[in-house]
Amino acid sequence: MPRKTLDMPQDFSIADARPADGGGKIRVLVTGAAGRIGSYFAEHNRDRYTLRLMVRPGDNTDKIAGLGEVVKADLSDLAALGRAMTDINVVVHMAGDPNPSATWNDLLQTNIIGTYNTLIAAKAAGVRRVIYASSIHAVSGYPADVQVKTNEPVNPGDVYGVSKCFGEAMGRYMAEQEGLSVICLRIGGFQPPENLQKESGLHMLDAWVSHRDLDQLIRKCVDVQNLKFAIFHGLSNNRFKRLDISTARELVGYEPQDDATEVNEKVKDLHLAEQLSTHSQHDGAQKSGIREEVAALTGKS
C-alpha cells in the first residue's frame, strides 16, 4: 500500500493479515440481487465467483435465473440472513430503499435496521467482508462546486443520505471493533448510457457511473485482501467529478473506462477530454518539471 496506516487520512485502514478464502472461487452473497446493480453484477460475474443471490419473498427473479443459487430472505429476519450467509466469503449488500425522496418511516426498516442486521449476520456467519452500497447522497449536502474527498466529513443532503451515513458508521464500527472487513461504496448516478444521452441527463455529467465501471469497482473490492475498512467513490472517469475517485484508484487499482462527457450528445462534440485540463497528476496532458526529473531518474514516464 502506498500510504501507511499512521499517515492515513482516516478514510481507510489496513488489515493485519491477508485472510484466506479457502481456495477456489470466492463465494459471494448478493443482497438485492433482483435490483439493477445486483442483477448486472450477477450476470457479469457468474463465472468469476460462486454466487448466492438473495431476494425478498415475492420478488421477480427472471433476470437472475440461472446466474447462481437464489435464496429468499427479508432484511428484517436476522435468522434468515444468517442462513443465507452460511459458507459465504463476501457479501455485496445492495438491498435497501433506493429512493432519495423516501421518508424516515420508509427508510427505517430497510436502510437502518436492515443494514444493521446484515452486518451482524455477516459477523456471526464468519463472513470476511461486506461491501456496502452507500450513496453520493451521503455527501450531497456539500455545495455543487466542491469536489468531495473520501476523508471529509459526511454531509447528507436528505434523509436518504442520512440513512447511508448510518451504514458507513456502522460499517466502520464493525471493521475496527469487531473485525469484519467493510468497504463502503458511495455510488453515483447508476444509469444506462441512453439516459445520459437525453437533455435531462446533463445533470449527471459530474456524478454518472456506468454499469461496467461500477461492476469493475465492486469486483476489485471483492478481490482485495488487505483492507479492513475503506470508503470509495463510485463514479466513472467523468471529466468533471463531483466526488474524488483517487482513493479507489490508489488502494484497489480502480480504472474506470467511461466518461459522461463522451456519452451525452449535447457535449460530446466539444471534445472536453482534449480541450480541458483536470490540473491533476493523472492528467496526461499535464507536464511537470519535477515529474520529468523523477522520470529521468527512475526510468518511468
Instruction: Name the superfamily (CATH) of residues 5-265.
Output: NAD(P)-binding Rossmann-like Domain (3.40.50.720)
95, 151 contact by CB (below 8 A): no
Query: pLDDT, tens digit, for every residue of 148-173?
Result: 999 999 999 999 999 999 999 999 99
Mean pLDDT per block of 10 residues along the chain (301 residues) reads 51 73 86 97 97 96 96 96 98 96 95 98 98 97 95 96 98 97 96 75 84 98 96 94 96 94 64 44 44 58 55
Q: Give pLDDT, residue 280.
A: 42
- 189 burial level (CB within 10 Å; 0-12, 13-18, 19+): buried
Largest CA distance in the chain: 63
Beta carbons within 10 angstroms of residue 203's beta carbon: 11
Beta carbons within 10 angstroms of residue 111's beta carbon: 27
Q: Give pLDDT, residue 203.
A: 75
Give the start-to-end residue ranges of the domains of the chain: 5-265, 271-301
Q: Which amino acid is at 96?
A: G
Which helix (H) or strand (E) covers residue 194, if one does? helix 193-197
* Rounded Cα gap, residues 293 and 13, in angstroms: 32
Name 12's Cβ contacts closer than 8 Å, sequence gap at least 6: 150, 227, 228, 229, 230, 231, 247, 251
Q: 36-45 and 211-223 are packed helices; what angle lies between their axes, rounded to 10 degrees?
A: 70
Q: Give pLDDT, residue 8.
A: 46
Scanning 205-300, the segments in alpha helix (DSSP H) are: 211-223, 246-252, 265-268, 272-275, 289-298
Q: Which three cell numbers stand for residue 24?
A: 477456489
Q: Report yes or no on whether pTM surpasses 0.95.
A: no
